[in-house]
Amino acid sequence: MARFDFDLFVIGAGSGGVRAARVAAGHGARVAIAEADRVGGTCVVRGCVPKKLLVYGARFAGDLADAGRFGWALGPRRFDWAVLRDHVLAEVDRLSAVYQTTLDTHGVETFHARAEIAGPHRVRVDGREVTAAHVLVATGARPLVPDLPGAGLGITSDEVFHLPALPGRAVVCGGGYIANEFAGIFHALGVRVTQLVRAGTLLRGWEPALAERLLSIAIARGIEVRLNTQVEAVARAGDGTLRVRCDDGRTIEADLLLWAIGRVPNADGLGLEAVGLARSPSGAVPVDRASHTRLPWLHAVGDVTDRIQLTPVAIREGHALADSLFGGTPAEVEHDCVPSAVFSDPPIASVGLTEGEARNRLGPVRVFTSDVRPLRHVLAGRQERALLKLVVDAATDRVVGVHMIGPDAPEIVQAAAIAVRAGLTKADFDRTVALHPTMAEELVLMR
């Protein structure tokens, strides 16, 4: 008789948890997974996928505005939020079902209920206790809402996808990728947007030149960006208008307030204290490079840990853990040189070191930039320019950072990330023939 009910019990059916469950089951393990919300997690249900679909929808505003310069005669334009919203939600339903089918096909038992750790090797779920040789916490993270008067009158990115109608005026609080993405989406769809940023710049930690370019474009397009500004209180007037009071004494009237000021690990109420596992200062589950906690039977992957909050990272962590525990191939995920993107308008993408990071870490560096007006913008009569930047280690000629803001930046930098990961040099870039006319050719033309 088996000592445990399961070989692996996964708490959280997001990208990392589902990948770990599927791969472990493929190795022959008896696997169960529990999800209190919808299978698919943040990325599929309320994050990357539906947000990117909203980005696509919003970008039609610019495409339609430019169409006349390309010979297309269009009639009156009208946007219907409900049509876009409902199609996006239908795609979320489809993808969630695909994730569930993947689990079912691999023989993973799914508990559609909240689970918590009841003790060593024990999980309480759906009114009963089960045992498992290994328990994986993959519960992700949630949007942070500040502790200030009236904060509950605002919403987070989780609720954006279910808005009954678009607001006329929106205040977006935050300067990170989520704030900039939704500020751009709302603005393109005709909402009057004010963005409040606590810091003196957008996108702290990113290549400053990209952040500065995005700020200038956002302001030129009509988004009101207030740097060095924090919200002190929020109230609702009798007519339903929100009054957002800032620390500079000004009050902004809005129909919607979006908090996009960060995300916190979903580790509350998991029962970690019952097994003596203390969380990190940020509330995350502490793990080593191989996703193990200090308890040999307890592991964690994804946004609930203190590592990189990106879906592809969580997937790789879950896959590596399953291979290590049940596939006989110990594996760790390399968390350096991970490409990332902001699906703002225009989008931003980066991989490797910023110029400042490179100077601090490597010493002398060489920096190459290309500041160009995309060909499409030329014909459309738009003045916006794209910016590309290469950071090169002066001692080795190795390209250690690639950064871009402009059309298709994420698609371009994804390919460039292979070169950075492979340690290619600036000379290798220079020897590569340009593919003309493209934005990507700028990567091999910088001198």
Contact 8, 20 (CB under 8 A): yes
151-261: CATH architecture = 3-Layer(bba) Sandwich (3.50)
pLDDT at 2: 65
Share of the chain above pLDDT 90, in %: 98
- Positions annotated as catalytic residues are 436
Alpha helices (runs of H) in 200-275, residue ranges in sequence order = 208-221
346-444: CATH architecture = 2-Layer Sandwich (3.30)
| Closest among 117, 442, 147, 124 to 293, alpha carbons compared | 117
- Fold match, 6-142+264-326 / 151-261: yes
Task: Tell me the mean pLDDT in the region 410-414.
Answer: 98
pLDDT at 245: 98
**339-366 pLDDT, tens digit each:** 999 999 999 999 999 999 999 999 999 9
Name the pTM for this structure.
0.95
The token duo for 294 is 């200090």
Please give the single-letter amino acid code of residue 263.
R
| CA–CA distance, 97 with 116 (Å, rounded to integer) | 24
Instruction: Classify domain 6-142+264-326 by CATH number.
Output: 3.50.50.60
**182-207 pLDDT, tens digit each:** 999 999 999 999 999 999 999 999 99
What pairs with residue 403 in β-bridges? 350, 389
Contact 227, 211 (CB under 8 A): no
**220-239 pLDDT, tens digit each:** 999 999 999 999 999 999 99
Residue with tokens 């599929």: 44
Look over the chain and give the mean of its residue pLDDT values, rounded to a whole number: 97
pLDDT at 157: 97
Contact 200, 230 (CB under 8 A): no
Number of H helices, E strands in the chain: 12, 22
**321-332 pLDDT, tens digit each:** 999 999 999 999
Residue with tokens 């328990």: 135
pLDDT at 316: 97
- Confidence band for 431, pLDDT divided at 50, 70 and 90: very high
pLDDT at 1 over 50: no
Task: Tell me the mean pLDDT in the region 123-146.
Answer: 97
pLDDT at 261 over 60: yes
Task: Tell me the mean pLDDT in the region 69-84.
Answer: 95
pLDDT at 218: 97
Share of the chain above pLDDT 70, in %: 100
The token duo for 114 is 């909240």
Cα→Cα distances 415→344, 351, 389, 408, 418, Å: 19, 10, 15, 12, 6
Task: Tell me the mean pLDDT in the region 356-382.
Answer: 97
Instruction: Name the residue ranges covered by the structural domains of the chain.
Output: 6-142+264-326, 151-261, 346-444
pLDDT at 191: 98
Contact 10, 34 (CB under 8 A): yes
pLDDT at 126 over 90: yes
